[in-house]
Amino acid sequence: MVIKKIFFLFLLFFNFLFARKIIIGNESIETIVFEDKEYLLLTDFIKGLGAQSWLIENKVFLILNDSLKTEIIIDLEKPIIKINFEEIKVPYPVLKIGNNYFVSLFTCEKILEKVGKKKQEILTEKIILIPEITEIKLHERRDTTIITFYLNSDVYFFTKSSSYFDYEINFQAKSKVNKIPIIGYLKNYEIKKEDGFSIKFYLKRECDVRLIKEKNIVILKFLPRLKQGIKLVVLDPGHGGKDPGAIGKMGTKEKDLNLSIAKKLKKYLEKFGLDVLLTRNSDVFLSLGERTKIANDNKADIFISIHCNSAAKKNSYASGFEVYFLSEAKTDWERAVAQAENEVIKYEINRNEINDDFLAFILADLAQQEFLKESQELAVAIQDAVCEVLNIENRGVKQAGFYVLKGAFMPAVLIECGFLSNREEEILLRKDWYQEKLAKGIAEGIKRFINQKR
Model confidence pLDDT, tens digit, residues 38-68: 888 888 888 888 888 887 778 888 887 665 5
| 275 and 380 assigned to the same domain | yes
pLDDT at residue number 192: 92
**Sheet architecture: strand order including 166-171:** 157-160, 166-171, 197-203, 186-192
Q: Answer yes or no: is 25 within a domain.
A: yes
Q: Answer yes or no: is 122 within a domain.
A: no
How far is residue 12's CA from residue 7's CA, in Å, rounded to a whole number?
A: 16
**Residue 328 corresponds to which amino acid?**
E
For residue 13, the 8-state DSSP code is E
| 213 or 421, which is more confident | 421
pLDDT at residue number 324: 86
- Nearest partner of 138 among 197, 195, 205, 185, judged by Cα: 185
176 sits in the region (left: phi over 0; alpha: psi -120 to 50; else beta) called: alpha
pLDDT at residue number 126: 37
| 166 and 262 assigned to the same domain | no
Q: Answer yes or no: is 386 within a domain.
A: yes
125-129, 232-236, 382-386: the lowest-pLDDT one: 125-129
| 335 and 447 assigned to the same domain | yes
- Give tens-digit pLDDT for 250-283: 999 999 999 999 999 999 998 888 889 999 999 9
Q: Answer yes or no: is 355 within a domain.
A: yes
How far is residue 289's CA from residue 295's CA, in Å, rounded to a whole number?
A: 10
Q: Answer yes or no: is 127 within a domain.
A: no
| 193 or 68, which is more confident | 193
Query: Which residues are paired to 147 by β-bridges?
Result: 138, 220
pLDDT band at 453 (very low <50, low <70, confident <90, very high): low
- Nearest partner of 192 among 209, 168, 167, judged by Cα: 168
- Which domain range does residue 184 map to? 132-224
Residues in the chain, overall count: 454
pLDDT at residue number 340: 46
- Give tens-digit pLDDT for 310-345: 887 767 778 889 888 875 544 444 444 444 444 544
- Give tens-digit pLDDT for 298-307: 888 999 999 9
Proportion of the chain above pLDDT 70, given as a percent? 77
Contact 90, 80 (CB under 8 A): yes
- Give tens-digit pLDDT for 338-388: 444 445 444 444 443 334 444 433 333 434 455 778 888 999 999 999 988
Average pLDDT (390-402) is: 70
CATH number at residue 50: 3.30.457.10
How far is residue 193's CA from residue 200's CA, in Å, rounded to a whole number?
A: 12
Q: Indicate the residue among 224, 258, 290 that finishes a domain.
A: 224
Q: How crowded is residue 11: how many other Cβ atoms within 10 Å of its Cβ?
A: 18
Q: Answer yes or no: is 175 within a domain.
A: yes
- Nearest partner of 258 among 282, 242, 275, judged by Cα: 282
How far is residue 211's CA from residue 56's CA, in Å, rounded to a whole number?
A: 21
pLDDT band at 396 (very low <50, low <70, confident <90, very high): confident
